[in-house]
Amino acid sequence: MSDRKKIVVAVTGGSGVIYAVRISQILLELGHELHCVVSPTALQIFGHELEVVPVSSLKTENAPKNEASLCFPAAFASKPFSDWFPVADGQKILRFSADELAACFAGQAKTFPSDDFFAAIASGSFLTDGMIVVPCSTGTLGSIAAGTNQNLIHRAAEVHLKERRRLILVVRETPYSAIHLENMQRITSAGGVILPASPSFYLKSSALNKLPGELIDTVVARVLDQLAIPHRLIPRWQ
C-alpha cells in the first residue's frame, strides 16, 4: 500500500494488554509495518489477563527463542475479535492455546528485546511514523517524562519526542496522583499525546450488550486517529 506506515508498538506492565493486541491486529489488517517491544512485566500480565502460557513452557518448533522476543500471537491477527470472548458459565473469558501463542506474529512484525539498545528503533535515523505505548504504566510514564532511558521502550519514546514524531501513551491507571498528572503535563509539553484507556459509552446501539470488544475498539479508534490512519472501527459522531 502506498500509504503504509511504520509504527512502533510498546507494551508495558499496566493492566489492559488486550488494547495492545487489538491495536496490533488492526494495524496489521490495514497493512502497516509494526516494530514491537514488550517489557518483562507485560509478559507476566499477558499470562494473567489473557490466560496464555509463558513462552518458556512452549515446546513447539515455532516457539520464540526467548521470552524477550515475544510480542503477540499470530492468531491475534487472524482470529475474529468476537471469537476472543467465548462464553463460559455466563461469563466472557479470554483463553489461548500454546500453539496460538507459539506462532508469534509469523514474521508479520519485527520484535525487539526490551534491553536491546542496538535495535533500530533506538536511533533517530531510523524513520518511523509514530509510536504507541499501550498500555502505558505510570512507571513507564515517569521514566519517559524524566528521560531516564532504562530500557528500549524509554529510549524509543525519547527518540520520538526529540525527532518531533507522534508519541501516544495509552495510560491505564486510576485514580491519578499529582505526580502522574505532572508527568503527563511534561509529556504533553514535549509534544507527546496522553490518551487514557477510557472507553466511551455513547455507541449505545450494541456496545453495552457486547462487552468488552466494542468498548475496546473505542480506545483503539482514538489511537488510530492520532496516527492519521483511516479505519471503520466505530461510526463517526454526527
- For the beta carbon of residue 233, count every other beta carbon within 10 angstroms: 17
As a whole number of angstroms, the distance between CA 238 and CA 233 comes to: 15
Q: Mean pLDDT highest for which of 22-26, 115-119, 127-131, 218-222?
A: 127-131
As a whole number of angstroms, the distance between CA 156 and CA 120 comes to: 9
Name the strands in the sheet holding 6-11, side by side, starting at the edge strand that comes first in the sequence: 109-112, 33-38, 6-11, 130-136, 167-171, 193-194
The whole-chain average pLDDT of the chain stands at: 77
As a whole number of angstroms, the distance between CA 199 and CA 151 comes to: 29
Q: Which residue has the higher pLDDT, 71 or 175?
A: 175
pLDDT band at residue 174 using 50, 70 and 90 as cut-offs: confident
Grid coordinates belonging to 2:
502506498
Grid coordinates belonging to 50:
489473557
Kindly report, residue by residue over 229-238, the tens digit of the pLDDT: 999 888 887 7
As a whole number of angstroms, the distance between CA 33 and CA 30 comes to: 9
Answer whether residue 136 shows pLDDT above 90.
yes
Tell me the pTM: 0.77
β-pairing verdict for 87-88 and 91-92: antiparallel
Answer whether residue 182 shows pLDDT above 70.
yes
Q: Per-domain residue ranges for the chain? A: 6-226
Whole-number pLDDT of residue 77: 40
Name the class of domain 6-226: alpha beta
Residues 177-206: what's their mean pLDDT?
88
Q: Estimate the share of the chain in helix, then strand, then coil, as percent rounded to the nearest 5.
A: 40, 15, 45
Q: Which residue has the higher pLDDT, 140 or 107?
A: 140
As a whole number of angstroms, the distance between CA 126 and CA 229 comes to: 20
pLDDT band at residue 110 using 50, 70 and 90 as cut-offs: confident
Residues 77-93: what's their mean pLDDT?
44
Beta bridge pairs of residue 33: 6
